[in-house]
Chains A and B, each alone.
Chain A
Amino acid sequence: MVHRAAIVGAGHSRFGVLPEGPRALLRTAVDGALATVDKGLDRGTIGRGYLATIGFGGWQIGNASAVLAEELRTPGLATVRVENACASGGFALQEAVHAVASGDVELALVAGLEKMTDVSSPRRRYWLGVSGDTEWERQAGLTFAGVYGLLASAYLARYRLAPEALAEVAVKNHANGALNPNAHFQKPIRREQALSSPKVADPLGLYDCCPVSDGAAAVVVAAADRARTYTDTPVYVEGVGAASDRLAVQERAELLGFPATRRAAEAAFRASGVRREEVSVVEAHDCFTIAELLALEDLGFSEPGGAGPLTLDGATRRDGRLPVNPDGGLKAKGHPIGATGVSQAYELFLQLRGQAGARQVAGARVGLAHNVGGAGATAAVAVLAAG
């Protein structure tokens, strides 16, 4: 296929409960991304900046993208914030791809950022819970843990699965996170630990939920025909797809998956010409363990109801036949909301260039990133491949 865009640099801060403020996190990610551009890059040539963030930590609600230009030290750069809740990063990446593919700019910078742990717990739970349907689901007493708890109950009941399938997702992703120096959690857990953790939104326990994290990530996106000006090993964006759905889960026809993910995946695979069996590594949106199972089915890597057994069989482990979330996923790496989608692109950039160190997936050539906003209200999928 004809490539239109490529990632030529990627940077990442630590994820976790961090002392750094949002500007410092952003700086780390952006400087890191520029530093990884093998043949160097004049930051003044960046034509557009995208900042994925839900609320900059819940307090810089408006105009946050200007901070990206400041921290990039390119105050004249046109920047824009992209906000689609937890899918902000995935959508920002796609905006950058469109910008360079259109020929309007040669280089675009995508940064994702969230600073979530320096506000009080009530305030955090306030602004975290407002990306779902506030009128009905929130007023019924649900945050996202509750919404995914509902989905998990329907899934387990429909396929007569025990919670072990959920726990195995947590065990696998914690094992991967233990190999990722940027991860929020770098300790393996046992299945019994996951199963016996306190219930947050039954059937989901504490270990079924991703943590609340600070962090930032950034990637440099170049027009494909110019990519080799910056590096000999670009990671090409083979295809992207995105979709939205009804905001409230109660208004959707089904509970056993996200139609938005399915539509986004179909579009991305169609655009890329890549077949599913060619995918060697997946970054799936596992904000809760149930979400990874739903993702595997919606992305077409498993038949409906098959993701649990697939996971229990070890197929999605780093050394399995379809490694999923080798960086630990949202579950162990952490989930600084706006940063997550960009962090997925960062991980695939490393994996597809063979630079992922201890967590490297052997022979990774094609990767898929899957980023979900809320409980399936928005979804973005990107298929990337080594040059």
Chain B
Amino acid sequence: MRGVVRAAAYLPSYTDGAVRRCGADEDEFTLAATVLERALPRLPERSPLTVRLLGFRSPPSGAALSAVAGRPVTVEGAGEQVGSLAAALASLAASDRAECLIVARRLSRGEPPIDPADRGEGSAALVVDDGGDAIPLSTFRPTAPVRADPLTQLWAWLGGPGGLGSVGVGDWVAPVPARGQGAVPDLPDGPPYTVAEGAFVPAPRYQESLRSRWRFLADRCQACGERTFPSRGRCGRCGRTDALRDEPLPLDGAKVVASTWIGQGGQPTEFDPQVEATGPYGVVLAELEPGVRVTLPVADAEREQVSVGARVDTRLRRLYAIEGAWRYGRKAVPAPRRGEPPAPDGT
């Protein structure tokens, strides 16, 4: 079978706060419906669809999803609270039906997300069918050493080099967050907005940067030993392009070396909707390892929690939308103090 990824969705921030505000059930239904809406235009018209749900607490019914999809929807795996992502992916890749995998990360404190021990291999597909031209399925392998859970890695892989190949603007797979009341607390609700006057970083360039942006992969030069971050496809010291090896940088525990809080028109135009919705926001320069720094927006934090010297973890979040598609990147969240449980949303 020649499977292709037709659409993908991922609710990156499924936090306590979101659940408190809008209720878990509504949130989960919204997530599933959003994925379906995104996927449907890419599926053969009116064909029946099998939807596999993973990690849902209150899974929406097949009838409810049929109403959304306007076609018969069969729900599978609805009872699984915790499942193996790798197994689901492998099963999807082997399927000859149009299928949709929707993963809800249950990230409330004390409740495990998808099996954190899940380190298997599988073929990645969130919606697959046998048609077409789009994105070839290849084998998804979690990177080693494993620093994030498989879903995050899958996600980075979908966006990374060799994952999507060249696709047109608007066709590339983007995580679609749930709509509804404040499912993602640091950005406004609603479909991706488009800010006509926003800074334009073309989608292919954004996509090219994802291995560094999402996975914090640096290039280690095997010839001279230099580490280059963000990845630019050549060694920053000796210039070699043929001796680079991926080297993951830590996603958590970075030290804040500079910190600002943007308000009163200090934001770029494309951040206007966020400021209108949630007010001033923070940006930090975080040191992942000595000498390796990255500029990160701040999420879920007060000003004083991310001042110079503070420790931050990173989470994959929406940055802003342009040309109708969300841009994603890591944001800094306060690192838990010793002895505290980790923050929700363990991406």
**Does B265 sit within 8 A of A, measured CB to CB?**
yes
Contact B197 A126 (CB under 8 A): yes
Complexed CA–CA distance, A142 and B271 (Å) = 9
**Does A250 sit within 8 A of B, measured CB to CB?**
yes
Identify the closest chain A residue to B236 (Cβ).
A251
Complexed CA–CA distance, A206 and B263 (Å) = 10
Given known contacts A120-B197, A201-B261, is B269 in contact with A125 (CB within 8 Å)? yes
Contact A135 B201 (CB under 8 A): yes
CB neighbours (8 Å) of B319 from chain A are 139-141
Contact B267 A134 (CB under 8 A): no
Given known contacts A123-B197, A138-B201, is B264 in contact with A206 (CB within 8 Å)? yes
Contact A153 B308 (CB under 8 A): yes
Q: Specify which of B205, B274, B294, B295 is in contact with A142 (CB 8 Å cutoff).
A: B295
Shortest CB–CB separation between residue A52 and chain B, in angstroms?
23
**Does B268 sit within 8 A of A, measured CB to CB?**
yes
Given known contacts A123-B197, A255-B285, is B264 in contact with A198 (CB within 8 Å)? yes
Given known contacts A126-B268, A206-B264, is B297 in contact with A140 (CB within 8 Å)? yes
CB neighbours (8 Å) of A138 from chain B are 199, 201, 268
Contact B262 A150 (CB under 8 A): no
> B291, B308, B319: which has the most chain A beta carbons within 10 Å?
B308
> A136, A137, A151, A253: which has the most chain B beta carbons within 10 Å?
A136
Complexed CA–CA distance, A145 and B268 (Å) = 10
**Does A103 sit within 8 A of B, measured CB to CB?**
no
Contact A140 B264 (CB under 8 A): no
**Does B329 sit within 8 A of A, measured CB to CB?**
yes
Complexed CA–CA distance, A199 and B261 (Å) = 8
Shortest CB–CB separation between residue A91 and chain B, in angstroms?
24
- Stretch in B45-53, B68-76, B98-106, B252-260 with 4+ CB within 8 Å of A: B252-260
Q: Specify which of B262, B271, B320, B327 is in contact with A201 (CB 8 Å cutoff).
A: B262
Contact B329 A199 (CB under 8 A): no
Contact A154 B209 (CB under 8 A): no
Interface residues of A in 114-142 (CB under 8 A from B): 120-123, 125-126, 129-130, 134-142
**Does B230 sit within 8 A of A, measured CB to CB?**
yes
Shortest CB–CB separation between residue A238 and chain B, in angstroms?
36
Identify the closest chain B residue to A202 (Cβ).
B261
Identify the closest chain A residue to B286 (Cβ).
A250
Q: Specify which of B257, B260, B266, B269 is in contact with A255 (CB 8 Å cutoff).
A: B257
Identify the closest chain A residue to B259 (Cβ).
A153
Shortest CB–CB separation between residue A23 and chain B, in angstroms?
25
**Does B9 sit within 8 A of A, measured CB to CB?**
no
Q: Specify which of A146, A204, A255 is in contact with B283 (CB 8 Å cutoff).
A: A146
Please, what's the 1-or-0 string for B52-96, where 1 marks a CB less than 8 Å from any CB in chain A? 000000000000000000000000000000000000000000000
CB neighbours (8 Å) of A202 from chain B are 260-263, 303
Contact B261 A141 (CB under 8 A): no
Shortest CB–CB separation between residue A56 and chain B, in angstroms?
17
**Does A1 sit within 8 A of B, measured CB to CB?**
no
Contact B260 A139 (CB under 8 A): no
Contact A140 B283 (CB under 8 A): yes
Shortest CB–CB separation between residue B131 and chain A, in angstroms?
33
**Does B180 sit within 8 A of A, measured CB to CB?**
no
Identify the closest chain A residue to B272 (Cβ).
A122
Contact A154 B258 (CB under 8 A): yes
CB neighbours (8 Å) of B198 from chain A are 126
Contact A141 B303 (CB under 8 A): no
Contact A150 B303 (CB under 8 A): no
Q: Specify which of A129, A136, A140, A153 is in contact with B230 (CB 8 Å cutoff).
A: A136
Q: Specify which of A139, A143, A204 is in contact with B267 (CB 8 Å cutoff).
A: A143
**Does B333 sit within 8 A of A, measured CB to CB?**
no
**Does A200 sit within 8 A of B, measured CB to CB?**
yes
**Does A334 sit within 8 A of B, measured CB to CB?**
no
**Does B281 sit within 8 A of A, measured CB to CB?**
yes
Shortest CB–CB separation between residue A45 and chain B, in angstroms?
43
Interface residues of B (CB under 8 A from A): 195, 197-199, 201, 205-206, 209, 230, 257-269, 271-272, 274, 280-281, 283-285, 291, 293-297, 303, 307-309, 319-320, 327, 329
A136-B230, A140-B283, A201-B261 known; 9 new pairs, CB 8 Å cut-off, are: A121-B265, A122-B195, A139-B199, A141-B281, A149-B266, A150-B284, A198-B264, A202-B260, A253-B291
Interface residues of A (CB under 8 A from B): 120-123, 125-126, 129-130, 134-143, 145-146, 149-154, 157, 198-204, 206, 248-251, 253, 255
Closest 6 CB pairs between A and B? A149-B260, A150-B258, A202-B261, A122-B197, A200-B266, A157-B308
